[in-house]
């Protein structure tokens, strides 16, 4: 399937993307892709180094006549989100992404595509290996672990880079110039519960919620997409209010930065309540399908009989857990009062796992205002501490303060107008870009983020637009030529 990808234009970019996508590159498991990029730089004969944490830096001299221009850092992250459909047989640890062309889009077969941020990586590779693109001195920075903690950016030391301008290639709309972003923090709530035996007068069922659109928990949080964890909890809470349901296990969502697409629960229902349970399920399915018909048209709730289990969560913990999850904020918490249409603070209820006497709840809270971010963290912490969960936080990273009057913003805005005869959208985003973190050790560096149209990032529906990549590539090449 990937062979046709390498024939797309610009061919160098797409060929590098295909090579990159043949390499497993999960967050925190980047050893293979680090070796891949290091070998790429060395084959070109360019100075290549790995820093103490695993980031790769490749430096390329300026083209003739541009030696005295400002050194430019081109930056993208090596890791990608690994998500697949439940019915897709795929091993991210050993297999390369299976890609195909669908009209004007490149997609993957039942998995994430890795265009986030593989297109950015492949773009930098194409510039590094080029012999006919005019450019100033370039420092290519390939960071690790952006998707699950930004530890690469956090670990990059000052003094390794000389560049005064950074082009971050991790924005997902080709008409946007991003000059600021939200910070984020991970919240984890854990606890234990008593397992109780359930008598034989119960039937066992698997409840499945699937077919949700999913997406990026920052860039897509404003779209009102369904969250599988919240819907599953809503259904179980509804049933518990009507009949004596026993919950054996819940397994929903996955990575913190992905809006959950699927959730599964094993439940036990008294024989006498089967008709009521089925009616509740049918009514609930119709209700949520009506609520989310625009954003999640493939949403489904399924009830299937399964082999009997004879254990369940204790009644008290079941009651408390359902209510705590119900109370946990999800989605937009506050819009920015200063920047039009910008989500200021949000939370993604990313993962719910209840099994074998233990439960774990994972959230990712984002905000461009640090004090408000921590206020929401306190609210979520309080909810789960009320049921005696152990709540911890990790991966706290800062936002990126916009500098709209910087020279690179002016240059790229003017160039965009001239090339495309329209105004660019110069804005801040609700995603967690690395620029804010990198700026802590390089405070004088001017930064801007841009990229081609990518849709459905962090989900198996991820896709990148071919014509938009061509637009982005031409814009980037001219930008490099214009930097003084």
> What is the Cα–Cα distance from 352 to 360, expressed in whole angstroms?
6
Select which of 145, 146, 240, 262 is catalytic. 146
CB 5 within 8 A of CB 17: yes
Token duo for residue 429: 């985003």
What is the dihedral sign for C-alpha 423, 166, 77, 343? negative
Judge whether 444 counts as a catalytic residue.
Answer: no
β partners of residue 253: 351
CB 218 within 8 A of CB 346: yes
Please state the three-class secondary structure of 427-477 as a single string.
EEECCCCCHHHHHHHCCCCEEEECCCCEECCCCCCCEEEHHHHHHHHHHHH
Task: Write down the residue that tokens 């450019």 correspond to.
Answer: 135
Residue 87: count other Cβ atoms within 10 Å of its Cβ: 7
Task: Write down the residue that tokens 């850092």 correspond to.
Answer: 73
How many angstroms separate the most distant Cα atoms in the chain? 84
> What is the Cα–Cα distance from 303 to 229, expressed in whole angstroms?
16
Judge whether 79 counts as a catalytic residue.
Answer: yes
CA atoms within 13 A on the CB side of 39: 9
Question: In 3D, which of 148, 283, 131, 309 has the Cα closest to residue 217?
Answer: 148
Catalytic residue numbers? 79, 146
């Amino acid at each position: 399937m990937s062979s046709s990808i390498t024939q797309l234009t610009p061919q160098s970019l797409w060929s590098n993307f295909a090579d990159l996508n043949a390499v497993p590159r999960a967050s925190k498991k980047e050893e293979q892709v680090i070796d891949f990029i290091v070998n790429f730089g060395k084959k070109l004969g360019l100075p290549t180094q790995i820093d103490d944490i695993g980031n790769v830096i490749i430096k390329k001299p300026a083209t003739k006549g541009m030696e005295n221009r400002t050194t430019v850092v081109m930056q993208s992250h090596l890791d990608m989100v690994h998500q697949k459909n439940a019915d897709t047989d795929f091993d991210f640890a050993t297999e390369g992404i299976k890609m195909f062309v669908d009209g004007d889009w490149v997609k993957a077969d039942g998995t994430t595509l890795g265009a986030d941020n593989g297109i950015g990586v492949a773009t930098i590779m194409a510039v590094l290996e080029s012999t006919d693109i005019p450019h100033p001195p370039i420092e290519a920075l390939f960071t690790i672990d952006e998707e699950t903690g930004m530890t690469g950016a956090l670990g990059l030391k000052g003094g390794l880079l000389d560049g005064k301008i950074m082009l971050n290639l991790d924005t997902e709309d080709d008409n946007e110039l991003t000059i600021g972003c939200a910070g984020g923090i991970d919240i984890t709530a854990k606890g234990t519960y008593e397992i109780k035996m359930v008598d034989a007068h119960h039937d066992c069922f698997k409840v499945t919620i699937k077919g949700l659109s999913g997406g990026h928990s920052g860039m897509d949080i404003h779209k009102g997409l369904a969250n599988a964890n919240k819907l599953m909890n809503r259904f179980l809470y509804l049933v518990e209010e009507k009949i004596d349901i026993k919950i054996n296990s819940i397994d929903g969502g996955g990575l913190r930065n992905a809006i959950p697409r699927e959730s599964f629960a094993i439940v036990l229902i008294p024989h006498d309540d089967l008709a009521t349970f089925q009616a509740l399920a049918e009514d609930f399915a119709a209700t949520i399908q009506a609520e989310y018909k625009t954003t999640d048209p493939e949403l489904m709730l399924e009830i299937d009989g399964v082999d009997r289990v004879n254990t369940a969560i204790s009644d008290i913990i079941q009651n408390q857990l359902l209510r705590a999850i119900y109370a946990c904020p999800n989605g937009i918490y506050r819009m920015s009062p200063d920047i039009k249409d910008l989500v200021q603070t949000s939370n993604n209820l990313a993962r719910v796992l209840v099994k074998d006497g233990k439960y774990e709840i994972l959230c990712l809270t984002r905000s461009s205002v640090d004090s408000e971010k921590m206020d929401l963290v306190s609210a979520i912490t309080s909810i789960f501490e009320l049921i005696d969960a152990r709540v911890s936080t990790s991966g706290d990273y800062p936002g990126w303060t916009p500098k709209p009057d910087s020279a690179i913003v002016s240059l790229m805005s003017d160039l965009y107008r001239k090339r495309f005869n329209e105004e660019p959208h110069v804005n801040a985003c609700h995603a967690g870009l690395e620029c804010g973190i990198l700026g802590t050790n390089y405070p004088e560096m001017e930064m801007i983020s841009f990229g081609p149209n990518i849709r459905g990032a962090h989900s198996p529906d991820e896709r990148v637009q071919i014509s938009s990549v061509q637009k982005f590539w031409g814009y980037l090449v001219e930008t490099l030529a214009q930097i003084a």
